[in-house]
Homo-oligomer: A and B are copies of this chain.
């Protein structure tokens, strides 16, 4: 039965696209891109266009699109708002297509583009995503965005929570040390996730810029049942 494989990748610098052509890739950037994307869809966004460059985001703005764009925590002057999930309110996003500028996120989506499918994972949609994933007869690659190519803890404990649940189903197995480590770290974090995340480097970075107000929200399980998936350069929700 346990014939579907789980692998975990801790950094874009470690991703091996040729190994995952048949897999569903879950893109994980808990603080904050994947949480913001799930929030946008929860609040009624129609679709999201992830773009890498500032110039590209600006061109979309000039065409009349709603643009969310930050660099190093600062909202770009032409943008409508920044990358915190709290910016994606129903008033702003309902029925809209949003251009979301994210260097790392866009890079990961491009790296994973040869996979069978790309979905966006966060604690906010973890339950719904797990239910849907188990209905697909596919191997899973848990792709942690990390930070500037480095390993980070918040994406890893999410990968651990996800992998733990999949293994418990009996449908999956793993021989991947990264997955085993993520599950072990989740076993330490799960009883007090907010307390555990206190120590992570990204929390300090966000706090230094007064951008840490959304962290508790980003760790909230099952805020939404939306499952954002990537198709032809566009993020939309599964019906």
Contacts and interface: CB of A to CB of B under 8 A. Distances in A.
B199 A181 contact: no
A14 B152 contact: no
Interface string A110-153: 00000000000000000000000000000000000000011111
Q: Which of A180, A199, A202: most chain B Cβ within 10 A?
A: A180
A178 B10 CA distance: 10
A212 B178 CA distance: 21
Tally of this chain's copies: 2
Nearest to A13: B13
A182 to B, nearest CB: 9
A35 interface: no
Contacts of A200: 177, 180
Contacts of A184: 184-185, 188
26 contacts: A11-B14, A13-B13, A13-B14, A14-B14, A14-B150, A14-B151, A150-B177, A151-B177, A151-B181, A152-B177, A153-B177, A153-B180, A156-B181, A175-B204, A177-B200, A177-B201, A177-B202, A180-B199, A180-B200, A181-B181, A181-B185, A184-B184, A184-B185, A184-B188, A187-B188, A188-B188
Interface of A: 10-11, 13-14, 149-153, 156, 175-178, 180-181, 184-185, 187-188, 199-202, 204
